[in-house]
Amino acid sequence: MQKEIYIFRGQSSESYKSFTKRMFDLADVLLEQCAPDALKASLTTRRPPRFSVIPFRKDKIAVFSLSGRKQDSSFFVSGGHGFAGGYLVEEAIPVNYDKTWEDRSPTPGECLLTLFHRKPDLEYDLFIKRWHEGHTPLSLKLHPLWNYNRNVVKKEITGQATWYDGIVEEQFKEGSHLLNPLVFFGPPVKVPKHMMQVLADTKSFIDMKRIETYLATEVHFLSNQQSTYS
């Protein structure tokens, strides 16, 4: 499914609390101005753990996903404070939760938000093959994923934005499923082996010097239906 993604970044002087409020306010304006069929965001609402096997960035970021918008959004969004780019993406959800919570309430658990570029000198078709046919099945096999939202960036739609080849949101039903390496890479006896597998696989198609990983909170502001988002 094709949809649009818009990225906003916070300032270092801005608290996580004020950034979160600003993004919630922005979501309300997006709903009014763009009239989408669905709107959700994955955003940083608090500082990540000081120590983690996942190199979480401390920057504040919000990734808004819009589908079925009925009014033009590019001009309005690009004028927003902290706007960092708008993209047309091809979305796939290899594993999906059943949504039972109310819109505007945080999705239970934790979200791993990743923005990345393909490995330099790797041919694009091979990059997609390695990502979709290699890394996705490996992630689903090794990690306790509750929802996996995979977005291939097809086109930059607002001008002068930083390019990304992929934007992925991985949702875990419990915080420990992401933050505890014995669970994330488990079972415990296989953690070292699984860590090496994931690292080697990721390095085979992603530019590791430019990868961005964030501990995020997912919020559905308007879902297509109460039971699921797709």
Highest averaged pLDDT of the listed ranges 19-28, 71-80, 218-227: 19-28
Least confident segment among 27-31, 128-132, 144-148, 190-194: 27-31
pLDDT band with cut points at 50, 70 and 90 for residue 168: very high
In a domain, 59, yes or no: yes
Assigned domain for 229 exists: no
What average pLDDT does range 112-118 have in this prediction? Answer: 98
- The whole-number pLDDT of residue 177 equals 98
Q: How many helices (H) and strands (E) does the chain have?
A: 7, 8
- On whether residue 165 sits in a domain, the answer given is yes
Instruction: Name the token pair of 182.
Output: 């014995």
Domain assignment present for 125: yes
Rounded (5°) CA angle 219-224-227: 75
Q: What is the pLDDT of residue 159?
A: 78
Note whether residue 91 is domain-resident. Answer: yes
pLDDT above 70 coverage of the chain, percent? 94
Domain that holds residue 213: 2-222
For the residues of 36-64, what is the DSSP string, one character each?
-SEEEEEE--SPPPSS-SS----S-EEEE
Using CA atoms, how far apart are residues 35 and 28, in angstroms rounded to an integer?
Answer: 10
The Cα 113–Cα 44 span in angstroms is 9
Does the pLDDT value for residue 87 go beyond 90?
A: yes
* pLDDT (mean) for 216-230: 72
Give the pLDDT band (50/70/90) at residue 227.
Answer: very low
168 with 140: CB under 8 angstroms?
no
Following DSSP, what letter does each residue of 104-133 receive, concatenated? Answer: TSBPSSEEEEEEE-BPTT--HHHHHHIIII
Q: Specify the amino acid at residue 69.
A: R
What's residue 142's pLDDT? 97
Report the pLDDT averaged over residues 209-229.
82
With a cut of 80, say whether residue 76 has pLDDT above it: no
Specify if 10 maps to a domain.
Answer: yes
Q: Is residue 75 part of a domain?
A: yes
Sequence-separated (6 or more) residues with CB below 8 Å from residue 91: 1, 2, 3, 65, 149, 150, 151
Domain CATH code at residue 32:
3.30.70
Report pLDDT for 161.
80
Q: Chain-centre distance of CA 20, in angstroms?
A: 16
Alpha-carbon distance of 96 to 28, in angstroms, equals 25
Backbone angles phi, psi at 162, to 5 degrees: -65, 130
pLDDT in tens, 91-105: 999 999 999 999 999
> How much of the chain exceeds pLDDT 90, in percent?
86
How many domains does the chain divide into? 1
Residue 225 is given by DSSP the state: B
- Checking if the pLDDT of 69 tops 90, the result is no
Label residue 79 by pLDDT band (50, 70, 90): low
Give the per-residue pLDDT at 230: 31
Distance CA 20, CA 26 (A): 10
pLDDT at 34 over 60: yes
- Note whether residue 230 is domain-resident: no
pLDDT at 229 over 60: no
